[in-house]
Amino acid sequence: MLKRFASLALALLTTTAVFAQDASDLERRLRELEQKIAQMQSTPDLTEIKRQIEILGQEIEALKTRQTETVATADTSTFGFGPAASKVYRSEGGVSIGGYGEFLYQNPEDEVATADSLRAVVYTGYKFNDHVLFNSELEVEHANLERGGNVELEFAYLDYLVRPELNFRGGLVLVPVGLTNEQHEPTAFLGARRPVLDHDVIPSTWMELGGGVFGDVGPVTYRAYLVTGLDAGGFGPEEGLREGRQAGGEAAAEDWAAVGRLDWHVFEGTTIGGSLYSGDSGQGRDFNGRVTLGEVHADARFRGAVLRALYTRASIGDAAAINDELGLTGEDSIGKRLGGWYVEGGYDVSSFLFTNSEMSLMPYARYEKFDTQQRVPSGFLRNAANDRTIFTLGVAFKPISQTVIKVDYQNVDNEANTGTNQWNVALGYIF
């Protein structure tokens, strides 16, 4: 009889090992349970043995529940970051490692197809204690430095956590603008490629040196920073503000900018919000080049449905003086005003197709319209090719929530009728 109960206890021990949270916890629980089994085997009282086994069963159920909560938490974001980027906030302490990656195949009509190791990212964080932590993102793009690749520090900052409503951050920070600049992991957005508007109008991924405050006040989250301003020397007619980002690399700091963001979590799964950025870009030149960019956005997720929308507008002061500085003439002028919008949606049909609840199959569509030369300075011309409309139609398959395969077709049009349609295939992961 004792052997039978000992065998049952060992089976319970094995189940506990499966659901333990980490290696150290597993070793500790193993030692504790082995000690209890040894005590049971030396106890002649059958009633006591049954009682001990019942206690073990209760402990195992508790471990199962705790493991389930951990997995669910690993798919959520913290303080505006994506699930993998916010891993350090969920750690008990010490080092935290996460990351993501993307591989992209593009096949434009009548052009050469390309396959690219688009990016491989490692998040490294360290929680010193309950109040102080470090978080960073190091990215390798295009695999090989000899073929146009690069290594970039996308963010690296220190947080001082005071209370949910008020915390402090300083270092190389992500500018809190738009839907994808902070949450740009491949499982977080629809499409094999990020929205083009979030490349040419909102210059994602956009990071600057600076600091500020952030927190959650009831259903509202906020972030407000003072950061190094853009550099007008990088502005252009097609990609707008993009090459004006300084990214913390010996950044000119003559001009600074303020940026703030508010998000209202209306109810579970639905968020509406907006952000505003404003600062000079002259960086010691004879003009100010004031850049003001605002956007409003919405993100709703309900029972397998996803709907996201964004509208943005930006203005560049002293645009004519910047053109003169850069030697731009005619249709090559930077936009005095630029902006646009997009809406995208998808629906997870996996519940109709799979019995495995981890799998997801989501057809999706995106429509975006934007112009990086909505207005140009007097004496310059607009280029109709920069007034673009892109319709994307595709499907995303997730074998598990941390991996995704996306296939889509993009119909690219512009007012000059020179757009090129293309197929895209992407493979992405987070951890």
pLDDT mean by block of 10 residues, the chain; 431 residues: 40 38 56 66 60 60 44 62 92 94 97 96 97 97 86 96 97 97 95 97 97 96 98 96 95 97 94 98 96 98 95 98 96 97 97 82 98 97 97 97 97 96 98 95
Sign of the CA dihedral running 352, 180, 295, 413: negative
What letter represents residue 17's amino acid? A
Closest to 251 in 3D by CA, of 220, 228, 278: 228
Closest to 254 in 3D by CA, of 285, 224, 300, 215: 285
Element (H, E) at 362: strand 360-375
Cα separation, 419 vs 369, in Å, equals 13
CB contact at 8 A, 293 and 314:
yes
Q: Which residues pair with 119 in a beta bridge?
A: 102, 141
Encode pLDDT of 372-398 as tens digits. 999 999 999 999 999 999 999 999 999
Encode pLDDT of 329-377 as tens digits. 999 999 999 999 999 999 999 988 877 678 999 999 999 999 999 999 9
163-186 exposure pattern, b = at least 16 Cβ within 10 A, e = fewer: eeeebebebbbbbbbbbbbbbbbb
Give the pLDDT of residue 34. 65
Give the pLDDT of residue 28. 66
Residue 4 DSSP SS3: helix
Q: Which residues pair with 161 in a beta bridge?
A: 167
Give the pLDDT of residue 5. 38
Closest to 208 in 3D by CA, of 150, 161, 258, 140: 258
Residue with tokens 């600049």: 181
Element (H, E) at 101: strand 94-108
Residues written for the chain: 431
Which structure tokens are listed for 170? 């300083």
CB contact at 8 A, 375 and 334:
no
Cα separation, 339 vs 112, in Å, equals 30
Closest to 202 in 3D by CA, of 289, 314, 118: 314
Q: Which residues pair with 210 in a beta bridge?
A: 171, 227
Cα separation, 307 vs 300, in Å, equals 5
Which structure tokens are listed for 202? 């909102």
Beta strands in 317-359 (DSSP E): 337-347
How distant, in Å, are the alpha carbons of 69, 252, 272, 305, 357 from that of 302?
20, 45, 14, 5, 16
Give the pLDDT of residue 65. 43
CB neighbours of residue 16 within 10 Å? 21
Q: Name residues whose C-beta falls within 8 Å of residue 21's C-beta, 6 or more positions apart in sequence.
A: 66, 67, 70
Closest to 221 in 3D by CA, of 266, 183, 170: 266
- CA 191 to chain centroid, in Å, comes to 14
